[in-house]
A and B are shown apart, each in its own frame.
Chain A
């Protein structure tokens, strides 16, 4: 049962990542691209946390407490490394979002469009 649930969640997350790549590649609206980038990023973060999880019961957060012995702590605490990776990734993702959204808004104010094909024409490249 538990392995079925784990496989189900993991495959859903991988599906979300592929969906994100698909959305970024095929939609031409910049706002939709940013939204799909977020879907992808959140799925990847979730996957990281899932990798750090341990199938033991009860499972502890990686924090030392007085009433837990050291051996018990080592055998029960989840892996702290993926959590540390995700912790900063979330905020950097938010900052990246702000940067992208700002550029999209400013482009819309200047040229009245957020479509990537129009953008290519305006900037002098070759549109489709």
Chain B
């Protein structure tokens, strides 16, 4: 009880201190009409019609894939590690997969009512269209592969909630295919990153050397594919019913 009071009081004091620092001293520099020098540099130098250019009139994309390209590249790898970490915890051996398939066949067939299903179909088509436009226009308009991939993942989650895992698997989006698509997206990114070295004798990630906007376009599309199918891979494993997974786990413990 006494500890709770101490914690509450110390949080209140911290808040008051931050409030004083932000409002009276303005440590964050909020509310100015001036740009920071770094921001001004990026805005001024990102796009030029001739000479060295990032090929992107959208300065955020120029920063993400040109100025801070390595950061973004390694964030892709962080994403890969997170997905693979989740996937390796939930992995199933080949026998377990066949047990799961047997048990899933026994599951009762349920579906939501017509209004929900019809609306979801409409909304999913719209989300897919919008996410594709975000990804393919990534170098011209706000957004890019990451954003488009997360939007697409939302569409797939909607399909999961309203229809089921089996609907997706019947349409061909099973685990093997999604992992292959994920690998394809990563391969596209790696190929684009390494292409300047082998084709033009430049350095890794020097995508300005590639003709026109190919580099940015490829990276956006690769990121789009990778994020979408990375999420879908984990959703597919998480979508296995709780009782089925418990049965499989119990079998593992008994062995």
Q: Report A's interface with B, CB cutoff 8 A.
A: 2-3, 6-7, 10-11, 14-15, 18, 21-22, 25-26, 50-56, 61-65, 73-74, 77, 79-81, 83-84, 87-88, 90-92, 94-96, 98-99, 102-103, 105-106, 109-110
A92 touches B79 (CB 8 A): yes
A73 touches B43 (CB 8 A): yes
Main secondary structure of the interface of A (DSSP, over half): helix
Give, as a whole number of angstroms, the nearest-CB distance from A21 to chain B. 8
A102 touches B42 (CB 8 A): no
A91 touches B19 (CB 8 A): no
4 closest Cβ contacts across the A-B interface? A79-B39, A95-B82, A64-B57, A102-B86
Across the interface, name the chain A residue whose C-beta is closest to B68: A84
B47 at the interface (CB under 8 A from A): yes
Count CB-based A-B contacts (< 8 Å).
145
Known: A7-B22, A109-B245. A102 touches B15 (CB 8 A): no
Inside 8 A of B46's CB, which chain A residues have their CB? 64, 80
Give, as a whole number of angstroms, the nearest-CB distance from A128 to chain B. 12
CA–CA, A122 and B77, complex, Å: 33
Of the candidates A11, A74, A77, which one forms a contact with B22 in the assembled complex, judged by CB atoms under 8 Å apart? A11
B23 touches A99 (CB 8 A): no
B82 touches A6 (CB 8 A): no
Across the interface, name the chain B residue whose C-beta is closest to A91: B146
Inside 8 A of A18's CB, which chain B residues have their CB? 11, 14-15, 18
B86 touches A7 (CB 8 A): no
CA–CA, A77 and B41, complex, Å: 12
Q: Pick from B24-32, B97-105, B196-204, B207-215 the stretch touching chain A.
A: B24-32
